[in-house]
Amino acid sequence: MLERGESLKTVQELLGHADIATTGNTYAHVMPEVKVAAGVNMNGLLKKNKKVSPQKERILAEKAN
């Protein structure tokens, strides 16, 4: 669900975890694509919202794996 863009808070509630840290600690390590997407988004913000080409995004994703 996280890889499809669902919020960590929603996943926490659906799974019944008492603490959001439990959800994050349990599932964050298995989501490299989410980390790459976050990096691309941060890069765009830091570069004043310049868009990253699909080719560069693919290269970044390959390097992350």
Q: Which one has a higher pLDDT value, 16 or 40? A: 16
**Is 27 within 8 Å of 52 (Cβ atoms)?**
no
For the chain, the structural domain boundaries read 1-30, 32-65
Residue 13 CA from chain centroid, whole number: 19
Mean pLDDT lowest for which of 2-11, 17-26, 50-59?
A: 50-59
Q: Is the pTM of this model over 0.85?
A: no
Q: Write the pLDDT tens digit of every residue in 32-42.
A: 777 788 888 88
Residue 23, Cβ neighbours under 10 Å: how many? 21
